[in-house]
Amino acid sequence: MLNDITLGQYYPVKSMVHSLDPRVKIVLLILALVTVFLPENMLLYIPIAAFILLTARLSNVPFKLLLKGIKPLRFILIFTVVLNVFFLPGETVWLEWEFIRITKEAVLTAIMFGIRLVLLVMFSSLLTLTTAPVALTDGLERLLSPLAKIRFPAHEMAMMMTIALRFIPTLLEEADKIMKAQSARGADFESGNLMARAKAMVPLLVPLFVSAFRRAGDLAMAMEARCYHGGKGRTRLHVLKMKRNDYLALLFMALLLAAVIVGNRFL
Amino acid sequence: MQITFRQVSHTYQPGSPFQSTALSNIDFTVESGEFLALIGHTGSGKSTLAQHINGLLKPTSGQVLIDGSDIHADGYSKKTLRQKVGMVFQYAEHQLFEETVEKDIAFGPKNLGLEEAEIAVRVQEAMEKVGLEYDEFKEKSPFELSGGQMRRVAIAGVLAMRPEVLILDEPAAGLDPMSREEMLQLIKALHEKGTTIVMISHSMDDVARFATRAIVLKKGAIAMDGTPAEIFRHADELEDMGLDVPVICKLARDMQKAGLPLEDGIYEEDKLYEALLHLWKGGAADAQ
């Protein structure tokens, strides 16, 4: 029943992009998002789109999967574009009827917004598709660790995220099992009005919470038994190390960003 | 009631990179009154197969028929199906959720839309069957019981629906030896009273003691199908598949290897005893 939910949508294949340092990938994403918002001229999206296509190609992730990320956003996308077309002010009028006024500038800006949104989602999907969730939290922890100076609990946050991610499939499996067990006793999760459906969730949620608490207790005990005492002085199994490809990727991103900035000047 | 699998295959997450075939071309028929044991290595598809019997999973291809009608055909009532085929999951105690034992057991019958009075009768009857004193346990919270008792409550919850077929996924897993034996005796008693049993088990000794038939699954396909006597005649093949054989079976084989002229396929304690007695008497007769 819950088979369709794939979480963290990580696509496990080997590729140059997959093997990049997760820290680098997070930084790349931030830079990419900035780059997406900079262009003032439509032409500048060509190199950015080319960059995405190239990265997608190098990542061995089917392009179809990358586009799938946009699907849930299609309504927001259409809504934004349509709204912009109708309500942005402009000078060159293309169509005027009653209170509707469509201008060239508005249409262009609307398209630009659309492109930005699509690129935004594609860049983010590219990160989550090519980086295992645990690597992602690890990278995040390392990037945030300087904040420990202002007492930001970077390690604890990352550990919590890792544990949460680790247990999502487990809990899904558990939920699936309990749902089946209750269905076998004639429970009906799919029909009835909102109230009836909410009530039907009780036989699922109570056992699920009970097991989640039991697991949490067990895990805490198991971690303590292995001398876990928080992040201080803890060494790592996978020491993140920047390699040639990481520097190259950063260099390419920087070049793209620079190109867009320069392009804004001259176009 | 007759259960028939016709060329049933099941694939999990078809079309994704995580695609895996759990069952392929499964064909068999279970008649009323059988005690069928499903045996197989972890991941051989036993649980997947069991969940097809009461329609929790739908075959990717093939048909599951109950008394000749396809359970996934339009208009086949899932409610009737779930009433007829009860299913006890592995660690069934994890499905308990109500405030009291009585309410939890009543969940199934309530879903069937039965009258209050009928439900009360069935709850009491189910508790009796699993050996829980009605007056003592009805008001207790299921969460304050011991593991073995919780599992009994869970099984009572299924029995209260009065199923004709009971599927049990490792009903004795994780219980202490005494609760384990009680659980198996309970299942045996249910079988003797006419319930068809399908039991998934890792314990070959349990299979040898209780089952009237066993199906061995290997990588989602049926590797062997027959009476325990027929299955355990292939003890070596079972061991090659990474499965165990009953202790008596091993003992008889070791005795054979040591030179005793025992016949093949002995897996029951009294049969081995008889055979040994026969040999001994025969041997004594020769000596005279």
Q: Which residues contact B175 (CB under 8 A, 6 or more apart)?
A: B147, B148, B151, B183
CA dihedral A106, A109, A113, A118 (to 10 degrees): 110
The pLDDT value recorded for residue A136 is 87
The pLDDT value recorded for residue B46 is 92
**Residue A60 contacts B, CB cutoff 8 Å:** no
How far apart, in whole angstroms, are the C-alpha atoms of residue B26 and residue B7?
A: 5
Which residues of chain B have a CB within 8 Å of the CB of A191? none
| pLDDT per position as a tens digit, A29-83 | 999 999 999 988 888 899 999 999 999 999 988 888 888 778 888 888 888 888 8
Q: What average pLDDT does chain B have? A: 90
Which residues of chain B have a CB within 8 Å of the CB of A12? 17
**Residue B58 contacts A, CB cutoff 8 Å:** no
**pLDDT at residue B284 greater than cutoff 60:** no
The pLDDT value recorded for residue A72 is 80
Distance from CA of B194 to the nearest CA of A (A): 20
Nearest to B154 by CA among A178, A176, A196, A208: A178
Out of B13, B54, B94, closest to residue A3 by CB: B13
Is residue B198 a contact partner of residue B213, using CB atoms and an 8 Å limit?
A: no
Crossing angle between the packed helical segments A22-37 and A104-130, to the nearest 10 degrees: 180
Three-state DSSP at A87 gives: helix
- A174/B94 Cβ within 8 A: yes
Residue A103: its H or E element: strand A100-103
The pLDDT value recorded for residue A93 is 77
**Residue A170 contacts B, CB cutoff 8 Å:** no
Specify the pTM: 0.75
Distance from CA of A117 to the nearest CA of B (A): 27
**Residue B108 contacts A, CB cutoff 8 Å:** yes
What's the gap between Cα B21 and its chain centre? 23
- A203/B82 Cβ within 8 A: no
**pLDDT at residue A8 greater than cutoff 70:** no
Q: Output helix, strand, coil percentages for chain B, rounded to the nearest 5.
A: 45, 20, 35
Confidence of residue B263 (pLDDT cuts 50, 70, 90): confident
Out of A180, A186, A203, closest to residue B56 by CB: A180
| pLDDT per position as a tens digit, B21-44 | 899 999 999 999 999 999 998 889
Distance from CA of A56 to the nearest CA of B (A): 17
Domain B3-232: state its class: alpha beta
Domain boundaries, chain B: 3-232, 246-288
| pLDDT per position as a tens digit, A216-261 | 999 999 999 998 888 777 888 778 888 899 999 999 999 999 999 9
DSSP character at residue A149: G
Strand order in the sheet with B165-169: B85-88, B165-169, B196-200, B35-40, B213-218, B221-226
Residue A191: its H or E element: none
Tracing tokens 């038994």 back to the chain, one arrives at A225
Among B residues 245-264, those touching chain A with beta carbons less than 8 Å apart: none
